[in-house]
Amino acid sequence: MLSGPIERASQLIQRVNPYFNHFAILAITAPLFLSVSITMSVQAQDAAKPPVAAKRPKTLESHGHQRVDDYYWLRDRESPEVVKLLEDENAYRESVMAKTVPLREKLVTELRDRIQQDDESAPYPNRGYLWYSRTKDGQQYAIHYRKKLGADGRTVVGEEELVLDENKLAEGHEFCEVADLQISANGQFVAWPADFVGRRMFDIQIRDMSTGKMFAETIPATTGNMFFAEDDKHLFYTRQDPETLRFDRLYCHRLGTNPDSDRLVYFEEDEEFNLFLMPTKSRKYIQCISMQTLMTEVRLIDTSKPEAEPVVFLPREADHEYGLDHLDDTFWIVTNWQAPNNRVMQCDKPGVDKSLWKEVLAHDTNVLVEDIELLKDWVVVVERADGLSRLRYRAKGDNQWKFIDFGEPCYSTMLAATVDSNTNQLRYSFSSLKTPRSIIDHDLKTGAKTVVKQDPVLGGFDSKNYVTQRIWATAKDGVKVPISVVYHKDTPLDGTAPLMLYAYGSYGINMEDEFIPSVYNLVNRGFVWGIAHIRGGQEMGRHWYDDGKLLNKKNTFTDFVACTERLVELKLADPKRVFAQGGSAGGLLMGAVANLAPNLYRGIISEVPFVDVVTTMLDDSIPLTTSEYDEWGNPNEEEYYRYMLSYSPYDNVERKAYPNILVITGFHDSQVQYWEPAKWVAKLRDYKTDNNLLLMDVEMNAGHGGSSGRYDRYREIAKMQAFLLMLSGIEK
């Protein structure tokens, strides 16, 4: 199953990555509105018969209650019968979707035609070099480069050097993901972790840039989370348990030695915690963060003394979460101590009791503090108010806070990698549902803004042709839930437009109002596209998360239904062409609403869905389960068992009509095991009383994130969009 701390920590780690500027999928931009009529009947019997999984009942008992699982046997990954069933599912899906092949090819062409195929990322100065990456026409992956900078840290004085060509790295592999690149203090060594299976187990390789040669050793089976010490001799990295996949061990590798002799620096014994690494801005420390849903503990590794034992900054305490950074001999802490929405505090050394910390930014019941950025003369706070992220800043020693104005009703902003602290330039990204993402350098002293890079959208895209709105729905218990939508200005808002509504709603992870170029394949065909900011995220503050987890989890599902009904009520959706989509924990959401309100949706796309909640959470041998108890509850306690059982999609499949459903999974998924969606599909096939489509797409060479290559991903997107367009009666 998926791990919330892993999802949240990956967002933080991404911010310090100089390759933060990912290449987006750009969609078509020319308006295309078709008159449609839903006269076509898309029925499963029109194609080959679907696979039928054998029933092999297994009785599961907890708290005196028995459940019979007919498809428990699908957990056997090594079984040829299981593999054949999954392959048969793929063949059946393709037979049903055969009529959409021309449309899918058109969608792929449109995606490619609107992408600037030869593109370059925003460059980042780091360790005396300017680092950047490129994509080239026809190539799946990025190529990374650098140029030497002069003594001022800004002027380029060297020629372009090739660092890593991911396309060459991927040769001979059907899957290839490079998690991150890390650079030694002297800029001489570059390390990268690569996963060739999709199970998020990365092998680390190291290159000496002064000679161009690779180190002889490869560090196998890591999490991909790693950082160099400042002595240019040691690399810290984490590993996961090979069975549970919990990130539980921190190692130190000395360059040029056999990884078998690497020193185990720390082992996290508590099965509910995972380990993550993060450097401080001062580069004096690497943080080893033990993270659980409701608790944090940070150990500090002195990067100038890599062989010394880590020092605990503040011991873990129940319900205390904190994050920190360090610059100019001061620790800055974001903490929820006596502050549910977090506050910012300071201290001068590790081990100081939190009662002695100095408050910098007080708690606000209406504003959630999310992150901080430290520069030599400035402190920047990332926070969220009324569901939107915002940036506030002030000069150190000044109590006057200022805000950056973004000027749109629905938008997303986040910190990018401002690696050098000795600057007035704050780097951040900005986008909205209709504004392509820009990387911006903002001079905090003068207020001047410089757009370093804006993602190009070709084909005559003009944001003035689109409208974004923030809409509020009333939940079942009277709570107001925000919805963000985008549509073409010529789309009729009279109840005739198809709607696609997306949501996640778990782990306190927010769904940002950011530009998603592929969405315009639908928007330009007359769709209204929206995000439901349901409880379970933190868009409206910490209480938004607390009210959407554990024994409040059902609020997530009823919120989504309320958002859908509100958009139909406002005539932003054709009630006969309403679609929903979510992935991972959002896939659980899709399964729950399919049971809860099947007649509301024409179709549902459920990606890597966590749908077998009770069985998974009862099995601590399944990867990452034990770290999830504070999110979903521990079903070994009867109260949580009964509550989970009341909403678990797999356990609540009934003999009734269901919407058209497309289920997507990866055979090597390390977070939601493939058998959850496979079992769900098998049971739905047995129980559902309708003739609607039930299709499953099993990527046999990928994991939780789908295909690794960008062109392969285009085809996955086109496949999903063709499913929606087919059901909408839009054939071109």
* Per-domain residue ranges of the chain: 1-30+122-280, 44-113+464-728, 328-456
Using CA of residue 318, residue 324, residue 326, residue 332, what is the dihedral sign?
negative
> What's the CATH code, domain 328-456?
2.130.10.120
Residue indicated by tokens 């370059």: 120
Q: How far is residue 426's CA from residue 375's CA, in Å, rounded to a whole number?
A: 8
Distances (CA, A) of 125 to 145, 307, 354, 363, 731: 12, 29, 35, 35, 48
Mean pLDDT of 95-102: 93
Report the pLDDT value the prediction gives residue 624, as an integer from 0 to 100: 63
What's the whole-number mean pLDDT along residues 301-320? 96
209 bridge partner residues: none
Contacts of 708 (CB under 8 A, 6+ apart): 140, 141, 170, 175, 176, 177, 198, 702
What percent of the chain has a predicted confidence (pLDDT) above 90? Answer: 74
Q: Distance between CA atoms of 609 and 583, rounded to whole angstroms?
A: 6
Instruction: Determine the pLDDT at residue 6.
Output: 46
Residue 556 Cα to chain centre, angstroms: 18
Q: By percentage, how much of the chain surpasses pLDDT 70?
A: 91
Residue 193 in tokens = 């972790």
Amino acid type, 510: N
Residue 516 has pLDDT above 90, yes or no: no
List pLDDT tens digits, range 197-219.
877 889 999 999 999 999 999 99
Per residue in 651-693, pLDDT tens?
999 999 999 999 999 888 666 889 999 999 999 999 999 999 9
Catalytic member of 669, 707, 708, 728: 669
Cβ atoms of 726 and 575 closer than 8 Å? no
- Contact status, residue 113 vs residue 137, Cβ threshold 8 Å: no
Dihedral, CA of residue 166, residue 172, residue 176 and residue 179, to nearest 10: -50
Distance CA 506, CA 613 (A): 14
Q: Is 584 in the active site?
A: yes
* The token pair that represents 125 in the structure block: 């100065």
Q: Are 561 and 532 in contact (CB under 8 A)?
A: no
Distances from the Cα of 422 to the Cα of 152, 153, 219, 376, 510, angstroms: 11, 10, 34, 5, 31
Q: What is the architecture of the domain spanning 44-113+464-728?
A: 3-Layer(aba) Sandwich (3.40)
Cα angle value 523/468/541 (rounded, 5°): 120
How confident is residue 45, by pLDDT bands cut at 50, 70 and 90? very low
Closest to 144 in 3D by CA, of 155, 129, 154, 156: 129
Q: What is the mean pLDDT of the chain?
A: 89
How many helices and strands in the chain, by DSSP H and E? 13, 41
Could you tell me if 602 and 660 are in contact, meaning their C-beta atoms sit under 8 angstroms apart? yes
Residue 113 reports pLDDT greater than 80: no
Return phi, psi of residue 723, to 5°: -60, -45
Contact predicate 285/271, CB 8 Å: no
Q: Which of 584, 707, 708, 728 is catalytic?
A: 584
Average pLDDT of the residues in 41-65? 81
CA pseudo-torsion sign 120, 121, 124, 127: negative
Region 335-339: mean pLDDT is: 97
Q: Are 177 and 705 in contact (CB under 8 A)?
A: yes
Instruction: Find the catalytic residue in 442, 533, 668, 704.
Output: 704
Phi, psi of 608 (to 5 degrees): 35, 60
Both tokens of 335, joined, read 């903490």
Residue type, 10: S
Give the neighbor-by-neighbor strand order of the sheet with 295-302.
274-279, 285-292, 295-302, 311-314
DSSP 35-62: ---TT----GGGSSPPP-PPP--EEEEE
Residue 707 and residue 716 in contact, taking contact as beta carbons nearer than 8 Å: yes
E strand spans, 54-128: 58-62, 65-69, 119-120, 124-126
Q: What CATH number is given for 1-30+122-280 in this structure?
A: 2.130.10.120
Active site residue 234: no
- What residue type is assigned to position 60 of the chain? L
Determine the 3-state secondary structure of 720 from DSSP. Answer: helix
* The model's pTM: 0.84
SS (H, E, C) 208-243: ECCCCEECCCCEEEECCCEEECCCCCEEEEEEECCC
**What is the chain's Cα-based Rg?**
25
pLDDT at 215: 96
H or E segment to which residue 382 belongs: strand 378-385
Among this protein's residues, is 648 annotated catalytic? no
Cα–Cα distance list, 485 to 63, 268, 466, 509, 532 (Å):
45, 43, 10, 19, 9
Pairing of strands 528-532, 499-502: parallel
User: Would you give the DSSP letter of residue 149?
Assistant: B
According to DSSP, residue 465 is labeled G
Question: How far apart are the C-alpha atoms of 232 and 211, rounded to whole Å?
Answer: 16
What band does 110 get if pLDDT is binned at 50, 70 and 90? Answer: confident
Domains 1-30+122-280 and 44-113+464-728 share a fold: no
Q: pLDDT digits over 457-471, tens only?
A: 887 889 999 999 999
